[in-house]
Amino acid sequence: MPAVKPLNPRSPVLKRLLVVALMLAWAVTAQAATEDCKAIPWGAPISAVESITYSHSVAGVKYYTVTKTEPCGVFKIQGANVTYGFLDGKLYTVLVEIAKAQDVKQVVATLMDSYGLPDHKKSDGWDEYRWETDELKIKLKSQFATDRIKIGMYYKPLIPKE
């Protein structure tokens, strides 16, 4: 029987296999977390949300922090700052900012699990990933130099017509 060579820990093939394995493990964990998710439904009236604190307004959208909702999916990441935006009193957007993300790939994998493969481009030092479904537009921006991630999710039925 021939001798088996140990795997080189610097091997690009091994690194790719580890990334794929981690992404799959994260996706399975994320799927289980979203099944029990009690997030605020898109389009829900602001009156249906408990423990809400006004933050600011931009272009007719009123932004709030909500302290009594159970975070799930990408919102559950430690250090995530979540802001909810209401347009005409209905949930229109959710903005998530992560100051020091441990792994951008995990966040992207979580979104891919729910929304499929994104469009990707680089712009001004940021990687941009975009998804679109019948109901949502999602944009994730990550900056490698600072480990920052910004995610914007927008409910398409409430997007103002131009």
Convert the pLDDT of each residue in 142-157 to its tens digit.
887 777 888 999 999 9
What pLDDT is attached to residue 10? 57
Contacts with 57 (C-beta within 8 Å, 6 or more apart), sequence order: 63
Residue 67 maps to a domain: yes
CB 140 within 8 A of CB 128: yes
Residue 99 is assigned to a structural domain of this protein: yes
Q: Please report whether residue 106 resides in a domain.
A: yes
In a domain, 6, yes or no: no
Structure confidence by residue, pLDDT tens digits, 107-138: 888 888 888 899 999 988 888 999 999 999 99
Instruction: Specify if 153 maps to a domain.
Output: yes
Q: What is the average pLDDT across 9-30? A: 41
Instruction: Give the structural domain span for 130.
Output: 12-158
Report yes or no on 7 lying in a domain. no
Which of 14-28, 57-71, 91-105, 120-134 has maximum average pLDDT? 120-134
Strand-pairing partners, residue 82, are 96
Helix axes 12-35, 104-115, angle to 10 degrees: 60
Residue 133 in domain: yes
pLDDT at 70: 57
Please indicate, yes or no, if residue 117 is contained in any of the structural domains: yes
Residues 6+ apart with CB under 8 A from 16: none
Q: How many domains does the chain have?
A: 1
